[in-house]
Structure 1
Amino acid sequence: MTGTFYGLVIESLVAVLLGLTIGYCALLNKRLQRLRADESAMRGTIAELITATQFAERAIKNLREITQQTNATLGEGLRASIDVTRDLDDQISRGEEVLDRIAQIAQAAEGARHM
């Protein structure tokens, strides 16, 4: 009878341990499912980041091209402005010379009238 009692105790202990093992396996299974779900979400996030990065790279490339075009346009405009400024300076100098001559003619005419 003691042999059967010990056998029953050992079998009960094995059954309890087996139940605990099954419970722990169920807990691990839930954790693995959460990890897989997180992995799926992480893959989605990574895909979105890759797409956003590609979009940003294209935008930066376009901005660089626009900047180069703008610099070229501004350079042309600046050169044209410098040319116009030089022309205006020349015309102002000539205008001042003409005014000086007119003033001299007016003074000569005024002097001739008084004589």
Structure 2
Amino acid sequence: MNLPMDLMLEAIVCVLLVATIGYCATLDRRLRAMRTGQDGLRDLIRDLSGATGQAMDAIARLRQASDATGGALAEQVKRGRALADELSLMVQAGNDIANRLGGIETRRPAAPQPAAGPRIVQSKPAAKAAEPHPLLDLLKRAR
């Protein structure tokens, strides 16, 4: 084993160079994989940015639609309240009329009693003055 020292040193340097080349090849593969991953990440970020833009546009359209619907609903509520107020006044007026008609019915004089003498038969039926008016009954039931 009398190898010259120079030859031994060169053999060691060759082994180290082979190890370095192997490490560089491994490092190159990892860098390529990382670049490929970055390209995929770039595509993912681009797609996410586009989806975010579409979502913002959709939110703006929804906001406009809700504003328009809210305005229409507010107008309908306003009209409904006005109609309810008008109906309330009409009901109150109907109640007042029913009360007045009820007062007239109670103040009417009693129907005259027939005389004790002979009765006269009428050919036409007599008017039913003692029966209450059907409208008055309806109004009283409505209260």
Tell me the TM-score normalised to structure 1 length: 0.88
Partner of 2:22: 23
Partner of 2:111: 113
Q: Does 1:37 align with 2:52?
A: no
Structure 2: which 5+ residue stretches go unaligned?
Answer: 114-143
- Which of the pair has the greater relative contact order for Cα pairs under 8 Å at 6+ separation? 2
Change (3 A) 1:22 1:96: same
Deviation string 1:59-96 (CA, Å, 9 cap, x unpaired) is 11112111111210111011001100111011001100
Residues 1-115 of structure 1 mapped to structure 2, 5 A cutoff? 5-109=4-108, 111-113=109-111
Query: Aligned equivalents of 1:9 and 1:37: distance in 2?
Result: 42
Moved over 4 A (4+): none
Structure of larger gyration radius:
2
Structure 1: which 5+ residue stretches go unaligned?
Answer: none
Deviation for aligned residue 1:112: 4.2
How many residue pairs get aligned? The number is: 112
Tell me the TM-score normalised to structure 2 length: 0.72
